[in-house]
Structure 1
Amino acid sequence: MKIFAEAKIDLPANSFAPDVFDLKSTGLPSSNFVVSRLRDGTVVSTYGDLVWDFSIYHPEKKLDPLNFKYWKYGEVTRQREQLVGEMKHVLFLIIWMRNKTPLSNGTLRNYLSVVNALAKYAEDESLTIKAIIGCPDLILCFIRKNPSGWLIETLSSLLRLLVLVNTGESQLNVSVVGEETLKLLYKNNRQYRDTLKQHAPIPTRIYSSIIRGLLAYLESWEKVADEHLDLVLECYHLRERDGNRLNYSSNIKATASNAFVNFITRKSDIFTIKTITAALTEVQRVSKLIIQVFTGMRDEEAQSLGFNCLEKITSNGQRHYVIKGRTTKLNYGKIQRTKWVSNFEGARAVEAAQKVAEAIYISQGITSIKIIELSNNAPLFISSSYFGFTGKPVATKYDQFGIACLYLKDLGKLLDTVPTIEAEDLYELEQLDPHRAWLSEEKFQLGAQWSLTTHQLRRSLALYAHRSGLVSLPSLRKQLQHITSEMTSYYAKGSPFAKDFFNNDKKHFGHEWQDSQFESASLSYIFNVLLSKDALYGGHAHWVEHRLKDKDGELLVDRKETMDRFKKGEISYKETIVGGCTKVGACNQIAVNWLQIDCLKDNCRHLVVNLPKLERVIKAQEKMISSLDITSVEYRTEISHLDVLNATKNKILDIQGEGS
């Protein structure tokens, strides 16, 4: 029979465990019970501390405090002491008294967030945490006051953990609500999960505008980056030297360039060392978003990137960009390494963040060489609080560094530039999902500002970064052109690189990109073939007209049936220069002749020719031929191709004439 309980947490290799708990004890641990310690046995935190520092147990040795200070203002009162005691009791039970697999640091932080919310509510209502989680009526009142789907889901998980804890001692046990209430919470969780699956892709006009705004911000900062960083470091060293802020604050604006002043005051008219330092955090926030735009990373994946995350590869004269990181799920303290393909813009964003980070590390006496030595202990998005200009300076402990809080909601004026919803955006959403009542949802109203979330960036990239022809907006096609090519090369099924990138990570963005491939292709097929108002020609276009439509031109197949055929691999659709191709698998004609001359000659059964596209190709071909030597073989070849293109155009016009 066990007489001691060990902490059930992820313990990285060579780390030293907290104290074990004596199960013969009838009460909670004493205030000097060690909850974290260094490898040499040095005590880091004890049970009585207001903050349990678990940084030493973080798999990448990053700052990781479990903070029980749930209030923002005021002193510690007797009520707050009691609530903190309850919070620690709950955390103690799930860390030491469970018999299941260890919990990761991230999971513990999530549970503590819920316990923090319970403590705030308990203080406001003059209750205790134990009273709330043990009473169905009180727990439902708490949920009505805190309706966040994530919070309720995490609360449900926490309560089920506490149900499984049986200490055998009444003083240690915590009573929780019964199965009926837990089932009610579970039902709510299912609804929450369903809503997560309904993340709307961003309409192409708005999506392109968001990307353009982020890149414009980055470009404007790059022009003043050196001045920005030099000024902050100069002020930091002056303050460190004599602590007299007046030495640099009185003439700080007078010595700055107009471009730099304009960059800082674009958010507010205030130009001080505080706003200048805050702008560094904004640069980090924008850089993180651009990285997400061009990789599909989740928030936590981007936030946890290391300083040396960017890898540049040159192959066959082409430059490729890979960003290395870790997944959000940790495996018993072992890090699951992963990587994402990106493009030049994603690499630019990483390099901008590196410049900011390097300045912060320099302020802490850490050189570029030392940053490399720190490896994963050097986060890319290190907090600018280390400068100490926007609050109390953060102290560095054990070569571990805090990460900046880069919440989307804090983007300020830049977030205000996100476009408002126009009629064309709603039409696009209705075409993407005609069964969803978009106008019945408050956030999709005409004239309302688009409500941006980072998950939408992931969803939109997965849907639009394909060569399906779904994206017709020229600006967005140009913005996504390179990343689409890279993802097709690295993530496509059958790619020799895919396994190396996915590394058994079932939640890697590449899987979502693969899963969206059939959706993107089927939607493009529906819009550009089945519902197209343009004149179409070709073997497949003829088949659609005579097999899938009635005599009045109405479709005889529904949307779901079409999408199911794509999902099963019975049909495919790829955009081509003159229209599209429905051949499943690779088409050898496109590889040897980009104008699809043989397909046009033979009227291939997979061919779809779009008249406006064909006319644009003819104009481009005529312009190209005009620059050739009329006596050359190339001229004769291209003229013959032009003849085929014009012959196809004439056939389409003849068919149109017959039908009119």
Structure 2
Amino acid sequence: MSFFMVGNLNTEFVPDRLEDLGGLIPGDFVVSRKINGEVLSKFEDDTWDLTTYGTRSVYTFNTWQTGDFDQLSRVITDEIKSITWLGMFNPRIARKKNKKMVSFSGYIKALKAIAKIAYHCNVSIVDSHSNSKFQAALKSSFLFAISDETEQAQWLSPYIKEVLRVCHSTVNDDLCEKLPKWKIVPDESYDDWVKRLNIANKYIRDKGKRTPLVPTRILATILEETEKQLDDALPLMERFVEFFEAIYEDPHLFSDSIGRARNAVTRIIGSGRPSPGPTSKSRLVSRKETLKRFGLDGYLEKKGVDAHLQNITNHLCQLQAFSAILIHFYSGMRASEVEVLPFDCHQVIDIPNFGKVDVLLSHTKKLARSNFSRLLPWVTSPIAKKAIKASQAIARINWVRNSPDRFPSRHETVPLWLANQWKKCATPVSYEYPIAYRSIVLASSIKSFKNVEIRRSDIEELVVFDAFRDWDEEPEFEIGQPWPLSTHQGRRSAAVYASRSGMVSLPSLATQFKHLTLMMTALYAENSAFAESFIVNEDGRIPESHTVIGDLRASKNLNDSVAFEEQVIKAHGPLLGGQGNAFQSEKDRNLPHFLDDARAIQKEIEVGKRKYVPLPTGGGCMNETGPCDSYGIDWTFPCLGCAKSVFEDDVLEEAAASLEFSMQEMSPNSLSYKFSNEKLRLIKSRLTD
């Protein structure tokens, strides 16, 4: 079974399946189909178009050869396709059953690099494992690549490792005995290569830099200024829509001369509309007068936008960038999740016993077995609604610029970031119409803001947050330069500042960020205890303008009370920890009395009179003043010995397993590894007591 077929893909446009997995690969094996079921690509083709399944481009296999395409080139190209086919379509060989088509880009790139070495050594891939010249060249190329700290090292190690795994798994699979023995490296060298690649991958990963936290001063400026820009524009967005509708119907509008009117005719016809007929000088309406008619002249003059259509379009693109900034920072969504936001993505839901909450609906690749999940919610601030309204108006404008038809009544077919020039876009994948999100540049959009230049105080704040990073040596963080804003900074900052507030638990963040593990969420929010508190006034209090924080606190109290019920009242095993032992003694002595007391405590937690902070590893903290200083720093270690802790006995085993798993990603010489190893020792010693 083709492993990417599982999930919610329509079976009418999935690739072929093979019943005899050990047979030779048929040339007419259908690699991809169009949505209507028509064949798009076959195995025998040198180009596989997999855009139907989520890739952003087609895979062309013969481009590795830049010289004459001779017989050996043909053989090697077919070998590349065969090894790619094994990784994609053979369920006995493919390790991940839910791997996305787009993830094969690096895999094929690694195969093409191997192909170049084989061709240079005048050997096919199937014979390369026994060719000493090829083996020496492969080792030399690999060592040279990992010593070069460029982007090629980012994909080299993991994908070569996967190629070798696929090849050797095929050789050792009895059902694949009819296939050629592609090994690339000899059997006796395979384990050494895997170790070498693992070490290189860890070396590369350790040298990578994590997404920086946006300093509080700069973040406050960015959020305040972007919201202000949208506040200025929102009252006029319908007028912008009407303006574009008018100038795409009448070429005389916004035309100072017959020449401009004729250009307008070309523009109108280019949008798919019929020719508006001959132009007349007497009917011309100047650009200034046209803008005045639609009430846009004062706004554009205030924003410094000249009365040229391209300048107006550029300004609308800037408003899209401002909208994207607010969405990223008020939701923590990934760029890929913001990119595929549907036109109607904002909703307000009413939660019983809580109230109304703003959410954004989109898709994620992380939780999908196909390429995108069903619609999922991200909690956001009501401020995000401004970004959505502005972007919806711009999407309608871009519709006018590209189609003579009425805007679709079925909004689910339209993306929020509808492109403004459809003819220049690739074939749409996620929607019926093209998306322009990737053309939105966040960093340049904030350069006009005051006070976004980096100051020494900002660097000092970053140093406190991450003391092991040499900020002064990174040119993009040079004092006086505009902050280098990126989409992922919104995600990182949302995680860190939400965690720092003490109002959002790690599991809640994991749900919001659609993370598959708590470890990844902890990684995003690491060092949050050292981050500055963000939303406070000079008196150290939350201002009235941010009362949404009160809603978050109420929601957290409710969640904490539910966690107390599940982890304490309904605990299946013995309760441990200082407070847990007290509860367990009362439970053993007088169960009805324990239940009455526990229910009373639960109600006090719900209204905020008592504290119960759930811990990611299970159990919770009942410190009356809230989490202690270890919270947010030592998440993975149960609060052994603390008089306020509550947890079940299996938490220790789970914590040990979690630590052992996370330590696989650490360098044995790092402080984090040594610290984790000491925690693991303490946990195991307690388990043996």
TM-score bracket for the superposition, by shorter chain length: 0.5 to 0.7
Q: Does 1:135 find its partner at 2:171?
A: no
- Measured in 1, the distance between the counterparts of 2:558 and 2:354 equals 25
Flag the 1:434–1:125 CA change in 2: closer, same or farther, 3 A. same
Q: Secondary structure at the match of 2:273?
A: helix
Question: Which residue matches 2:59?
Answer: 68
Q: Deviations over 1:148-193 (max 9, x none)?
A: 6653465256435534344445657362694434434323433555
Flag the 1:245–1:461 CA change in 2: closer, same or farther, 3 A. farther
Structure 2 gaps of 5+ residues are 129-133, 249-266, 503-531, 565-612, 647-689
Q: Secondary structure at the match of 1:215?
A: helix
Equivalent residue for 1:159, pick from 163, 175, 178: 163
Deviates more, 1:469-478 or 1:338-347: 469-478
Q: Is the CA contact (8 Å cut-off) linking 2:4 and 2:98 kept in structure 1?
A: yes
How far did residue 84 of structure 1 move?
Answer: 7.1
- Measured in 2, the distance between the counterparts of 1:77 and 1:270 equals 54
Deviates more, 1:33-42 or 1:468-477: 468-477
Question: Which residue matches 2:39?
Answer: 43
Structure 1 gaps of 5+ residues are 1-5, 59-63, 500-512, 522-538, 541-556, 573-582, 586-660
Q: Is the CA contact (8 Å cut-off) linking 1:464 and 1:471 kept in structure 2?
A: yes
- Measured in 2, the distance between the counterparts of 1:150 and 1:208 equals 33
- Measured in 1, the distance between the counterparts of 2:201 and 2:434 equals 32
How far did residue 431 of structure 1 move?
Answer: 2.9
Q: Secondary structure at the match of 2:383?
A: helix
Question: Which residue matches 2:264?
Answer: none
Query: What letter matches 2:159 in structure 1?
Result: L
Question: Which residue matches 2:184?
Answer: 175
Alignment of 1:4-15 (within 5 A): 6-11=1-6, 12-15=8-11
Query: What letter matches 1:450 in structure 2?
Result: W
Query: What letter matches 2:90 in structure 1?
Result: M
Number of corresponding residues: 500
Flag the 1:223–1:253 CA change in 2: closer, same or farther, 3 A. farther
How far did residue 300 of structure 1 move?
Answer: 1.8
Query: What letter matches 1:462 in structure 2?
Result: A
Equivalent residue for 1:456, pick from 481, 489, 512: 489
- Measured in 2, the distance between the counterparts of 1:486 and 1:152 equals 47
- Measured in 2, the distance between the counterparts of 1:480 and 1:71 equals 60
Q: Deviations over 1:346-390 (max 9, x none)?
A: 121122222233444565577566324xx4x5433333332x3xx
Question: Which residue matches 1:18?
Answer: 15
- Measured in 1, the distance between the counterparts of 2:560 and 2:476 equals 39
Question: Which residue matches 1:147?
Answer: 151
- Measured in 1, the distance between the counterparts of 2:113 and 2:150 equals 11
- Measured in 2, the distance between the counterparts of 1:320 and 1:259 equals 36
Question: Which residue matches 1:401?
Answer: 433
How far did residue 342 of structure 1 move?
Answer: 1.0
How far did residue 78 of structure 1 move?
Answer: 4.5
- Measured in 1, the distance between the counterparts of 2:276 and 2:119 equals 46
Q: Does 1:107 find its partner at 2:100?
A: yes
Query: What letter matches 1:44 in structure 2?
Result: L
Deviates more, 1:78-87 or 1:35-44: 78-87
Q: Deviations over 1:404-449 (max 9, x none)?
A: 2426756535357583321211222233344555445554444444
Flag the 1:161–1:230 CA change in 2: closer, same or farther, 3 A. farther
Question: Which residue matches 1:481?
Answer: 546
Q: Secondary structure at the match of 1:406?
A: helix
- Measured in 2, the distance between the counterparts of 1:565 and 1:46 equals 50
Flag the 1:211–1:365 CA change in 2: closer, same or farther, 3 A. same
Flag the 1:84–1:565 CA change in 2: closer, same or farther, 3 A. closer
Q: Is the CA contact (8 Å cut-off) linking 1:281 and 1:406 kept in structure 2?
A: no
Flag the 1:399–1:314 CA change in 2: closer, same or farther, 3 A. closer
Q: Is the CA contact (8 Å cut-off) linking 1:228 and 1:260 kept in structure 2?
A: no
Alignment of 1:484-499 (within 5 A): 484-490=549-555, 494=559
Question: Which residue matches 2:331?
Answer: 295
Q: Deviations over 1:199-232 (max 9, x none)?
A: 4322111111222343244334435533444455
Q: Is the CA contact (8 Å cut-off) linking 1:420 and 1:448 kept in structure 2?
A: yes
How far did residue 109 of structure 1 move?
Answer: 0.9
How far did residue 458 of structure 1 move?
Answer: 2.0
Q: Is the CA contact (8 Å cut-off) linking 1:310 and 1:323 kept in structure 2?
A: yes
Query: What letter matches 2:486 in structure 1?
Result: T
Alignment of 1:63-462 (within 5 A): 64=55, 66-68=57-59, 78=69, 88-99=81-92, 107-113=100-106, 115-116=108-109, 135-143=138-146, 144=148, 146-147=150-151, 150-152=154-156, 155-156=159-160, 158-159=162-163, 161-163=165-167, 164-166=169-171, 167-168=176-177, 171=180, 173=182, 175=184, 178-191=190-203, 193=205, 198-232=210-244, 234-235=247-248, 237-239=268-270, 240-242=272-274, 253-254=287-288, 255-256=290-291, 257-258=296-297, 271-273=308-310, 276-277=312-313, 280-313=316-349, 320-333=357-370, 335=373, 337-360=375-398, 363-364=402-403, 370-372=409-411, 375=412, 377-386=413-422, 388=423, 391=424, 400-406=432-438, 411-414=443-446, 419-434=452-467, 436-462=469-495
Q: Secondary structure at the match of 2:2?
A: coil
- Measured in 2, the distance between the counterparts of 1:123 and 1:217 equals 52
Q: Deviations over 1:269-296 (max 9, x none)?
A: 79445x6556555443432221110011
How far did residue 455 of structure 1 move?
Answer: 2.6
How far did residue 103 of structure 1 move?
Answer: 5.7
Query: What letter matches 2:231 in structure 1?
Result: E
Q: Secondary structure at the match of 1:206?
A: helix
Flag the 1:265–1:447 CA change in 2: closer, same or farther, 3 A. closer
Flag the 1:380–1:156 CA change in 2: closer, same or farther, 3 A. farther
Flag the 1:136–1:406 CA change in 2: closer, same or farther, 3 A. same
Q: Secondary structure at the match of 2:377?
A: strand
Flag the 1:135–1:196 CA change in 2: closer, same or farther, 3 A. closer
Question: Which residue matches 2:534?
Answer: 471
Q: Deviations over 1:50-108 (max 9, x none)?
A: 764445546xxxxx454135999xx9984999697666444323112341568688732
How far did residue 323 of structure 1 move?
Answer: 1.3
- Measured in 2, the distance between the counterparts of 1:279 and 1:71 equals 43
Query: What letter matches 1:135 in structure 2?
Result: L
Question: Which residue matches 1:614?
Answer: none
Flag the 1:348–1:69 CA change in 2: closer, same or farther, 3 A. farther
Q: Is the CA contact (8 Å cut-off) linking 1:10 and 1:104 kept in structure 2?
A: no
Q: Deviations over 1:568-616 (max 9, x none)?
A: 67999xxxxxxxxxx999xxxxxxxxxxxxxxxxxxxxxxxxxxxxxxx
Q: Secondary structure at the match of 1:460?
A: helix
How far did residue 401 of structure 1 move?
Answer: 3.5
Deviates more, 1:282-291 or 1:401-410: 401-410
Flag the 1:159–1:323 CA change in 2: closer, same or farther, 3 A. same
Flag the 1:39–1:384 CA change in 2: closer, same or farther, 3 A. closer
- Measured in 1, the distance between the counterparts of 2:313 and 2:240 equals 9
Q: Secondary structure at the match of 1:9?
A: helix
Q: Is the CA contact (8 Å cut-off) linking 2:93 and 2:166 kept in structure 1?
A: no
Flag the 1:109–1:319 CA change in 2: closer, same or farther, 3 A. same
Query: What letter matches 1:19 in structure 2?
Result: D
Query: What letter matches 1:112 in structure 2?
Result: S
Deviates more, 1:118-127 or 1:142-151: 118-127
**TM-score, length-scaled by structure 1:** 0.59
Query: What letter matches 1:324 in structure 2?
Result: L
Q: Deviations over 1:308-345 (max 9, x none)?
A: 32111367997531112333324433836532211122
- Measured in 2, the distance between the counterparts of 1:243 and 1:185 equals 62
Flag the 1:186–1:424 CA change in 2: closer, same or farther, 3 A. same
Q: Is the CA contact (8 Å cut-off) linking 1:492 and 1:514 kept in structure 2?
A: no
Flag the 1:98–1:161 CA change in 2: closer, same or farther, 3 A. farther
Question: Which residue matches 2:584?
Answer: none
